[in-house]
Amino acid sequence: PHTLAAINFAAGWASERNVKIKVFSDSKSSIEAIRSPKVKSNFVLSVKDNLYNAKDLVSLVWVKARAGNPGNELADHLAKIASSCGADMSIPAPYSYVKGVCKEFLMNEWNSYWKNSTTGKRTTEILPSANLDLLIGNKYAIYLFTNHGPFPAYLCRFKILNNPDCLCGEHGDVDHYLTSCMYTKDYHLLLPTGAARTHWTRKLCKNYSFLNRLKSIFEISRKICDDLQRL
């Protein structure tokens, strides 16, 4: 950015005085940025505008760095001095940088809320941190993560059912139907614990065979809830 700022200043200086100048720079990237037709940075665009307004007054010349060119060596020396004691410059940040900063801020806020929330304990046990890779819309996977779905234990909380137990007599939460219910025994899963559970969940929630098994389990649990409601 400091090279582009210097070129920008030189273009303005030449235009004001109507004098021809040559700007020697060892920054090939700065010269290429000015020459590129695909520029998105507002700052680079403003430099290009100033060079265009200067007409034929300003010529850009690339020189090899640290090749003993007196002018280039002096410019490097002055740049080092300016970086330690010069005035701050306000240079607009590129969109990609701003987007990255915003994303990092939002992820930190999300994770802070995620870890400090007093609700959703089952979800945080399975997924200890927020992760954009696990933004899923499959309702059966959401039942698995949250324990919110067609389960007697959940529906009893809202007085939709009078009893939290399954037809088989056991407590009717999500893990019951996944691992022990006699009515879903053809689809039972072996659930790991701890850190292994997080890895297991991430891997299987993108597996169509696994999601179909969840669908079969939860369709049975829904039918059980319907039967309980009719009792």
pLDDT digits (tens, 9 = 90+) for 25-35: 888 888 888 98
Q: What is the pLDDT of residue 1?
A: 62
DSSP structural state of residue 118: S
User: Is the pLDDT reported for residue 195 higher than 80?
Assistant: no
Q: Is residue 148 domain-shared with residue 82, that is, in the same domain?
A: no
- Please check whether residue 123 lies inside any domain of the structure: no
- Please check whether residue 99 lies inside any domain of the structure: no
3-class DSSP assignment, residue 62: strand
pLDDT digits (tens, 9 = 90+) for 197-231: 777 777 777 788 999 999 999 999 999 999 999 98
Query: How far apart are alpha carbons 176 and 152 in whole angstroms?
Result: 11
Burial tier of 121 (Cβ tally within 10 Å: 0-12, 13-18, 19+):
exposed
Which of 73, 92, 111 is a domain's end point? 92
**Structural domain containing residue 45:** 1-92
Burial tier of 83 (Cβ tally within 10 Å: 0-12, 13-18, 19+):
exposed
Query: How far apart are alpha carbons 17 and 10 in whole angstroms?
Result: 11
Q: Average pLDDT in the 17-40 region?
A: 87
Name the domain count of the chain. Answer: 2
Q: What is the pLDDT of residue 97?
A: 84
Residues of the chain above pLDDT 90, percent = 37
Q: What is the pLDDT of residue 67?
A: 63
Please indicate whether residue 171 or residue 3 has the higher confidence score (pLDDT): 171
pLDDT averaged over every residue in the chain: 86
Please indicate whether residue 69 or residue 103 has the higher confidence score (pLDDT): 103
Which of 58, 92, 126 is a domain's end point? 92
Measured at the alpha carbon of residue 49, what is the angle toward residues 48 and 55, in degrees to the nearest 5? 95
- Pick the range with the lowest mean pLDDT from 12-16, 134-138, 148-152: 134-138
Instruction: Label residue 88 by pLDDT band (50, 70, 90).
Output: low
- Please check whether residue 121 lies inside any domain of the structure: no
Q: Is residue 87 domain-shared with residue 167, that is, in the same domain?
A: no
- Please check whether residue 97 lies inside any domain of the structure: no
pLDDT digits (tens, 9 = 90+) for 93-107: 788 888 888 899 999
Q: Is residue 81 domain-shared with residue 159, that is, in the same domain?
A: no
User: Is the pLDDT reported for residue 87 higher than 80?
Assistant: no
Instruction: Label residue 86 by pLDDT band (50, 70, 90).
Output: low
